[in-house]
Structure 1
Amino acid sequence: MIANKYKAALTLGAASVGLLAGFPYSHHFWGGLLTSACQAAVVGGLADWFAVTALFRKPLGIPFRTAIVPRNRKKIFQAIAEMVQVELLSKENIAKTLVNYDLSAVALHFLNEHDGRKYLKEIVYQFAYKFIEQVEPDELGVIIGGILKKYARDARLAPLIIESSEWLIENKYDDQIIDFFIAQLESIGEQQPFRHLLGDLVLEARKSYERDSERRRIFNDLFQLSQQQLAKDAQKALLDFLDEVKSSGHPLRSRLKDRLVRLIVNLRSDEALQQQIEDWKTSQLSNKIDFVQYSTSFIAEWRMKAVQNKEQAAWLGELSNQLNQFIDEFAASKTRRLNFDHQVKQLIGKWLDSNQAEIGSLVKNSLKKMTDDMLVEFIETRVGNDLQMIRINGSVVGGLAGMCIYLLTFWW
């Protein structure tokens, strides 16, 4: 704008100099032609300068029909708001534009190419931390405990046992179940209290064996079979036996697996057994299991650990892995991506339906922050260069018109 402004001023100045230089010789042909051309150029340039300046300011302090833009700012703002609301950001135009975009691809591009995963994780982490810091274990425990109790009360336990057991067997988890129970039995069998229990059982068995038989008592005394030694030997024999059962080809292991299958088959067809399980569940829920207390204790302990060890919290790494897995699965699933694209476009459409009027209000509120000087500067920086060309064209066209008029009237 500044370059054309100087050019317009230079053009007007040159026309003024030409007028002054040619006026003394205006009675000659060439002097008159120059005078007429420059005179018309000065008039045209001044007229256009006044017109351009009057758009934004008051030229020569004249208030009548000047400073058009500042005086009509409300109309201008209203027109801009309506244009944005009705034409640019109408629901129809946005819908036509969105049809050409795969919003899921846009989201994935942001996540994978612009550290979007990092930003998403930071948002989720901050939300999780705020939730953890503000949560009240007692209040949340009551809510979660109530939900768990209702679910446990409404859900039938027998079908869950049947389906989960069948799934475990189909996926070859029955061996792991047997190994788990063997490991638990070994853990119990290795403990000193269990040896004492075996000792007591051996003592009772020995007394029963020796009763009314002097020869048996003498035999035991002769071989010095002490209670402690017998308990130790029995414990070792039990542990050795459990170790043998770990072998995949052990007969007892096969019988246990067959027994497990038969139990599941019987449970599926035995309605009385199913009812016993449901009755047991009801009894436990009524008298022994306090979901609220368990939930409150768990939440309080988990909250304390999470707050004390923010950076080292185990759930943080798991949450990060889950987010990465979710994004990768989303990227690989065409169905999910199409559904995401459809849902987001529907949400945008619904938002536009309910907030269409707010778009215009938002634009007007933003424009109201502009002062008259800011508005003038905003328009001048964008169209001022073209407006200054009007001044240049006014001088040039005026000069040409003056020359034509002079030539037409010179001989008459």
Structure 2
Amino acid sequence: MFWRSWNKADKTLLLAAVIFFLALALVIAYPKSLLARGFLACADAALVGGIADWFAVTALFKKPLGFPWHTALLPRRRESFIEASVTLVQKEFFSRRKIFQALQHINLVTRLIEFLRETAVQEKLVLQFLHYVRSFAMHIDREQQAGAFADEMRGELSRTRPAEIFSLIGRWMRDDERDHVLVSRAAQFLADKIAAPAFSEKVEDLLFNYAKENTKGAWGKFLLGIGQMTDVLNFSDLAELVRRQALSVLMELAKRDSPLQQEFLSICYAKAEELCTDEDFCAFSLELRDTLLAGLPLEEAIERSLAFVQKHFFAPRQRRSFDAVLPMLRENFSAVLVEELRRTLVLFSEDEKMQRAINRFLYDLAARSALAAQELVGIIVRDVLARLTDEQLNHLVYDKVEPDLLWIRMNGSIVGAGIGLIIFVILQIVH
């Protein structure tokens, strides 16, 4: 176990010491042997070189054998080492030139688009947006906001002419053929009402009362009675005929894009245009608009709506109240936000002018941030290194260069052995 804890340099130095004593024993046994004396010279020089390099390497971090002069260089010069490290990080790693060179090779806009296209990122953005909506809804002043909304609505409506409102309604009705759907549903509703048996009875009563009220004199009433008795004038059949004719017209009107439906809509639009040009109707519309705006309790309605939203959707005691009350609304709202974000990214990826503008902004922001962080990085490095003990500082440096330091010590023994052999040969030649 003790042998396994040694490093390669320690084992090499121990091996040099063993070889030295072995060579010394050979010289004592064979004092006149040139080979033994040469072997001793090599072993002696290898041992001295190994010990010298061990002393030199150890003196960088500790005091070898308690030797006090010019040893433990790193702990003694720790302040200089810290300042040199800070300067290295600030001036070399985070220099202005290297920062700008690194940023020039990075397409910030492309990376931003790729980042925003990730599903997890989009979900986080939606959740963050919903959090902002919840926070805004919980901290707004309902009375103040209700008054502001009401004033804005009244201002917009008061500036709008009735003709413009009717025109907007007409365009909205024509979009996606809402007008056809409305007419079809209205005609179908009336057809269902007319198909009921009670309708024929009401029509029969109306026809009889009409005939009775418009029959004058005794002779007329007499003829009306004779007609009913002889079944010449049958109000029941007449009511049934009216019902069937009305059903036929309504069913034709309910058919999508039927000629009757097209004619009915064209008449409605034509009459609406005539009304918009009629001065009396315009005056009546303006008066009705102003009366409604003055009498509508918009502030109270808006404030109650905001209170309802705060209570049921964003209650502070229920963190997931929005999801609990209307999970489908939350899901659909999130889907709309994600879809709009993706659509924005598609439009952004196709707009080169916008990309160049944002790329310049991101480049400037990143460069300024990196330059501002230069001083902060120096402070962090200085603070971290200053908190290290001497032993921790030694390990921090030694662990980074340990293989090279071990080879320096091993090379001391190897080079020493070679130099010892050369000196021994030179001495032999001189003698």
Question: Are 1:102 and 2:107 matched, yes or no?
Answer: yes
Change (3 A) 1:162 1:203: closer
Deviation at 1:319, TM superposition (A): 1.6
The alignment's TM-score, normalised by the length of structure 1, stands at 0.71
Query: Which residue of the partner structure matches residue 308 of structure 1?
Result: 324
Deviation at 1:44, TM superposition (A): 2.0
Q: Give the counterpart of 1:183 among 149, 165, 185.
A: 185
Deviation at 1:373, TM superposition (A): 3.6
Deviation at 1:49, TM superposition (A): 1.0
Cα distance in 2 between the residues matched to 1:124 and 1:92 = 38
Deviation at 1:389, TM superposition (A): 0.7
Structure 2: gaps of 5 or more residues: 316-320
Cα distance in 2 between the residues matched to 1:217 and 1:102 = 101
**Cα deviations by residue, 1:9-33 (Å, 9 ceiling, x for unpaired):** 2332233233333346386543443
Q: Give the counterpart of 1:153 among 135, 152, 155.
A: 155
Q: Give the counterpart of 1:260 among 269, 272, 289.
A: 269
SS at match of 1:136: helix
Deviation at 1:250, TM superposition (A): 2.7
Equivalent AA in structure 1 for residue 370 of structure 2: L
Query: For the Cα contact (< 8 Å) 2:50–2:410, is it kept in 1?
Result: yes
Equivalent AA in structure 1 for residue 302 of structure 2: V
Equivalent AA in structure 1 for residue 269 of structure 2: L
How many pairs were matched up?
397
Query: Which residue of the partner structure matches residue 392 of structure 1?
Result: 410
Change (3 A) 1:271 1:385: farther
Rg larger for: 2
Change (3 A) 1:124 1:235: farther
Change (3 A) 1:7 1:359: closer
Cα distance in 2 between the residues matched to 1:393 and 1:56 = 20
**Cα deviations by residue, 1:78-133 (Å, 9 ceiling, x for unpaired):** 33333333332345423322333334444555567xxx313531453366258538
Deviation at 1:277, TM superposition (A): 7.2
Equivalent AA in structure 2 for residue 320 of structure 1: A
Query: Which residue of the partner structure matches residue 213 of structure 2?
Result: 210
Equivalent AA in structure 2 for residue 20 of structure 1: F
Change (3 A) 1:205 1:409: farther
Q: How does 1:289-304 map to 2 (within 5 A)?
A: 289-290=298-299, 292-293=302-303, 295-296=305-306, 299-300=309-310, 301-303=312-314
Query: Which residue of the partner structure matches residue 400 of structure 2?
Result: 382
Equivalent AA in structure 2 for residue 244 of structure 1: E
Deviation at 1:3, TM superposition (A): 9.7
Deviation at 1:184, TM superposition (A): 5.1
Between the aligned residues of both structures, percent identity stands at 20
SS at match of 1:345: helix
Deviation at 1:186, TM superposition (A): 5.5
Query: For the Cα contact (< 8 Å) 1:44–1:394, is it kept in 2?
Result: yes
Query: Which residue of the partner structure matches residue 341 of structure 2?
Result: 326
The alignment's TM-score, normalised by the length of structure 2, stands at 0.68
Change (3 A) 1:180 1:405: same
Query: What CA RMSD, in Å, does the superposition of the two structures yield over aligned residues?
Result: 5.0
Query: For the Cα contact (< 8 Å) 2:187–2:253, is it kept in 1?
Result: no
Query: Which residue of the partner structure matches residue 35 of structure 1?
Result: 40
Query: Which residue of the partner structure matches residue 132 of structure 1?
Result: 134
